[in-house]
Every structure is written in structure tokens, then in C-alpha cells.
Amino acid sequence: FLTADQEIALAKRIEEGDEEVKQELAEANLRLVVSIAKRYVGRGMSFLDLIQEGNMGLMKAVDKFDYRLGFKFSTYATWWIRQAITRAIADQARTIRIPVHMVETINKLIRIQRQLLQDLGREPTPEEIGAEMNMPTNKVRNILKIAQEPVSLETPIGEEDDSHLGDFIEDKDATSPEQHASYEMLKEQLEQVLETLTDREENVLRLRFGLDDGRTRTLEEVGKV
């Protein structure tokens, strides 16, 4: 991974319009994509497809990264990579009840649709998707309709049936990438402060403010520990 200073230097050059540097920043974080993709293996997509989707999220992070906010790029990019992968898993799940011979075509169309969205900065038209796939517009419309058929949020995903489609649907109330990065940075700073305390002091703070399990304790409860 790059140092914070190297990230800032690259981000400044990207801001000045240096397109080649975007690739440099992305390539320096490919291991991050692989490590995140590993967590989603067995959810209905191949490891290579997960990496491909994660790379698209990484490129989105490269485009949107603002070094002035003080976040590490990897912390910021993690949100975009996860979002790209989980959205792809949800898209894949929608094809579960579709004939097998259609699944590959739908997956290809969805990938191209997402790539065009990134390139154009807006939702592509069926005509634009058709041109990219060498496919008649009416067929593109039919496939888009099939791909958008409603499917239960309880539909099992993956081999173990321990996850459901609802787990991978984007939550509109979820934190933004900036909020996620702020939280991670605050967590790192807090851990550094806790390391300067005695074991007893650290334990008191962890219990009082619920730093480990989210459950705060009263002073009386802390005193009994």
C-alpha cells in the first residue's frame, strides 16, 4: 500500500487531470479488493467475478476520493468495494428463477450496464447497451425486464443457505463512504489513546462507553468488574 503522502500526491495529480495516475492509485490497492472479495466467496458468484466487481468499486473510489478530508484512501475505498460486490451479488440473486441459458446473458448485460453507468455518469439507454453488446434494442429491453422481476428478500444466497438476498440489498439509510472513513479513523485514534492508559483505566473506559460490544455500563456496574 502507498503512504498517506504518496496517496495525497497522486490524488493531486488526478485532480489536475492526469488519467494515468488513476490506474497507479488503483493498482496499489488491488490487494485490498482481493482481501474483501474473499469474504464473499460462496455467495453465488465466482471469486474472479467478485474481484472484477470489486475493481469497479475501486475505480469509483479513485474517481471520488477527496484527500482534503484526511482519510486514508484504503479506508475510503473499502466502502465502495463492498458496495459494488454486494450489489452484484444481489443482481445475481435476481436471476435465480430465470432459465440457466439466460443467466449468463443477463449477468453480461448487467456488467455492461454498470460499466456504461460509470463511463457516462448516468443510466445507459437500452440502445446504448445494445450497441455495446451487438444486440437488438427490443431484446435488451426484454432482458432488462426479466432481470428486474421481483424476487423474495428471503431467497437463499450461496451454498450454505446462511445468507439471504435481503442481506445484500443496499440500505438507503446506511452510512456514506465519508462517514464510514471518519468512523474508521476515529476508531484508530481511540485505540492509540487507549494504549497510553493502564490496563485498569482502559478496561473502565471500554465498559463505561461500550466500546467492545456497544452496551454502556453504569459506574456501579463498572465498579463491580
Q: What would the mean pLDDT of 50-68 be, rounded to a whole number? A: 90
CATH topology for the 178-223 domain: Arc Repressor Mutant, subunit A (1.10.10)
Mean pLDDT of the chain: 79
Residue 123 clears pLDDT 90, i.e. is over it: no
List the grid coordinates of 34.
Answer: 482481493
**107 or 85: which carries more pLDDT confidence?**
85
List the grid coordinates of 50.
Answer: 467478485
pLDDT over 90 percentage in the chain: 16
Contacts 24+ apart (CB under 8 A), 22-31: 22/59, 22/62, 22/63, 25/62, 25/65, 25/73, 26/55, 26/58, 26/59, 26/62, 28/1, 28/2, 29/1, 29/58, 29/73, 29/74, 29/77, 30/55, 30/58, 31/1
Half-sphere exposure of 218 (CA within 13 A, CB side): 3
Residue 152 clears pLDDT 50, i.e. is over it: no
pLDDT given for residue 94 in this prediction: 59
pLDDT given for residue 37 in this prediction: 92
pLDDT bucket at 177, cuts 50 / 70 / 90: low
Q: What would the mean pLDDT of 114-128 be, rounded to a whole number? A: 89
Q: What would the mean pLDDT of 192-208 be, rounded to a whole number? A: 82
pLDDT given for residue 153 in this prediction: 47
Residue 99 clears pLDDT 80, i.e. is over it: no
pLDDT given for residue 127 in this prediction: 94
Highest mean pLDDT among 121-130, 144-153, 161-170, 188-197: 121-130
pLDDT bucket at 198, cuts 50 / 70 / 90: confident
Q: What would the mean pLDDT of 46-55 be, rounded to a whole number? A: 89
CATH 1.20.120.1810 domain range(s) in the chain: 4-93
Alpha helix positions (H), 121-166: 126-133, 137-147
Name the pTM for this structure. 0.51
CATH topology for the 100-149 domain: Arc Repressor Mutant, subunit A (1.10.10)
- Report the distance separating Cα 46 and Cα 31, nearest Å: 17
**93 or 34: which carries more pLDDT confidence?**
34
Is 151:97 a contact under the CB 8 Å cutoff?
yes
Residue 93 clears pLDDT 70, i.e. is over it: no
Task: Specify the 3-state DSSP secondary structure of 116.
Answer: helix
- Report the distance separating Cα 32 and Cα 74, nearest Å: 7
Residue 162 clears pLDDT 50, i.e. is over it: yes
Q: Provide the strand spans (E) within the chain.
A: 156-157, 163-164
For the chain, what is the largest distance between any 2 Cα atoms, rounded to a whole number of angstroms?
72
CATH 1.10.10.10 domain range(s) in the chain: 100-149, 178-223
CATH 1.20.120.1810 fits 4-93, yes or no: yes
- Report the distance separating Cα 126 and Cα 10, nearest Å: 36
Provide the Cα torsion 171, 122, 38, 49; round to 10°: 130
